[in-house]
Amino acid sequence: MQDPEEIMKHLGAEFVLDEQMSFESITGTMRWIVHIPTIDFDIELFILTNF
């Protein structure tokens, strides 16, 4: 799934999605970052590839 909005529908309002996808340089994969500002915690959602 490459649409993080689908995942965000299931999470509460305290979860904040970064506006842009980011590149993870060590693995060479793309990811979305979801922040939880109330507890200063981030979740990285990596896009799976077939490499």
Express each pLDDT in 6-33 by its tens digit.
Answer: 888 999 899 999 999 999 888 888 999 9
Q: What pLDDT digit, counting tens, does each position of 30-46 carry? A: 999 999 999 999 999 98
User: Domains of the chain: which residue ranges?
Assistant: 4-46
Number of other residues whose CB lies within 10 A of the CB of residue 32: 21
Q: How far apart are CA 15 and CA 18, in angstroms?
A: 10
